[in-house]
Amino acid sequence: MSKGLKIMLFWSLGFPIIITFLRIITDYVLGRDIIFTSHLAIFIGTAVGGLIFAGPLNYYIAKSREN
């Protein structure tokens, strides 16, 4: 698997999973209701942000460090 694909997969799947998991834990600790649709929206939003902004940006940063 190429380095660019690994970076894009992390920022479009790994990072949103981590953020969503941390938000669920925070809601549980604070005693709030865990609403699936709310956390799904957070996951999809961070996944799209990672796919459009964070993934390509980090790929170009890693590529420029190689040169």
How many domains is the chain partitioned into structurally?
1
Q: How confident is the model at residue 5 (pLDDT cuts 50, 70, 90)?
A: confident
Reported as a pLDDT band with limits 50, 70 and 90, residue 67 is confident
Q: What range does the domain containing 45 cover?
A: 3-66
Q: Say which residues have a Cβ less than 8 Å from residue 20's Cβ, sequence separation at least 6.
A: 39, 42, 43, 46
Residues in the chain: 67
Q: pLDDT, tens digit, for every residue of 12-62?
A: 999 999 999 999 999 999 999 988 898 999 999 999 998 899 888 888 888
Whether 55 and 14 have beta carbons less than 8 Å apart is answered as: no
Task: Calculate the CA dihedral of residues 9, 14, 16, 19 and round it to 10 degrees.
Answer: -160
d(CA 46, CA 67): 30
Q: Write down the pTM of the prediction.
A: 0.82
Q: How far apart are the first and last CA of the chain?
A: 20
